[in-house]
Structure 1
Amino acid sequence: MQILVALDQSQFAATVLEKAIALAKQEGANLSIMTVAEDFFDIGDYLDVESLTDKVLAKTKAAAQSYAATAKAAGIDAKVVVEQGVSPADLIIDHAKNKAIDLIVLGHQGKKGLPRFLIGSVAARVVAHAPCSVLVIR
């Protein structure tokens, strides 16, 4: 079994990772940890996008390595995947398709008010379009 845990850099990510590690142990599954560094091309007229993107990518890579160290300390040798792009949901879905993932584990980071309806959450989009089962941790 192939499990992909998609993590952001929130405090809640530790809870999601803990659940994914427990599930990987229970199922004897391979675990991949995915983080996504978002691109900010649409604000390029206002900010130094290249510098901002580089900083976000470096921070995302560091977080991914930290998550992998946590998994290793728990007895799981996880593969690390760091992607960069505008849509984290699309990158998660594409990775799951390309790598024959059996289960995606991710957290629910609910947006409130109008942004939720205009943008939609990453979790909702992944659930709607993933090629496999999705476990959303609340």
Structure 2
Amino acid sequence: MFQKILVAIDASERGQLVFDQALQLAQATSAHLMLLHVLSSEEEGSPNVSIIGLEYYPSIADEIVQMHQKQWVEYENRGLKMLRSHAEQAAAVGVAIEFTQNFGNPGRTICEVAHTWDADLIIMGRRGHSGLNELLLGSVSNYVLHHAPCSVLTVQGIVHADSTTTQDQLADVVL
């Protein structure tokens, strides 16, 4: 069965669901978990500041760069706090666990860590993009499925219909 499971997570509800599924599987199989959080501007909640055109305003540009650096450090710290919390939960139920937080392209980073750590399985979430949305937006899970050095288990995200979701987006998720 699986002995080394790489768990790619973020700070979303979906990330919690992925962790919960991985923890259950690790308990059932006595597998070792490696939690991975990829620091990326693609992640929801990551600092994203546009600096286009700021070369005309050097004093403002300096302030914005400093603010962005501060936000990035806070983003890194939130990621480490999440990883530590999950590691404590796993250790409390007797699951061998370690974690890492890397910067980079999420799909490539997940595959690289899986390769170097010699993972038997990658567990990760997927947002549920399909068709044109997946083509235009790209898909980390799709990249990993096609480039991973081991088996991949994707956990479907939780779908919420909120005020920013259009009917077309809902139709894509339902289909």
Q: TM-score, normalising length from structure 2?
A: 0.69
Q: Tell me which residue corresponds to 2:24.
A: 22
Segments of structure 2 that go 5 or more residues without pairing to the other structure are 53-63, 157-175
**TM-fit CA distance, 1:114:** 5.6
User: Could you say which residue in structure 2 is the equivalent of 1:45?
Assistant: 51
Q: How many residues align?
A: 137
Structure 1: how far apart are the matches of 2:132 and 2:77? 31
Of 59, 64, 70, which aligns to 2:83?
Answer: 64
Q: How many percent of aligned residue pairs carry the same amino acid?
A: 30
Alignment check: 8 A CA contact 1:38 1:56 kept: no
Q: How far is 1:136 from its partner?
A: 0.5
Name the CA shift for 1:118/1:42 in 2 (closer, same or farther; >3 Å). Answer: farther
- In structure 2, distance between residues paired with 1:69 and 1:113: 39
**Which structure has the larger Rg over C-alpha atoms?**
2
Q: Which runs of 5+ in 1 are unaligned?
A: none
TM-score normalized with structure 1 length:
0.85
- With over 3 angstroms needed to count, the CA separation of the structure-2 counterparts of 1:56 and 1:103, relative to structure 1, is same
C-alpha RMSD of the superposition: 2.3
Q: How do 1:58-137 and structure 2 match up within 5 A?
A: 58-85=77-104, 87-111=105-129, 116-137=134-155
Question: Which has a greater percent of strand?
Answer: 1
* Residue 123 to residue 70, structure 1, CA distance change in 2 (3 Å): same
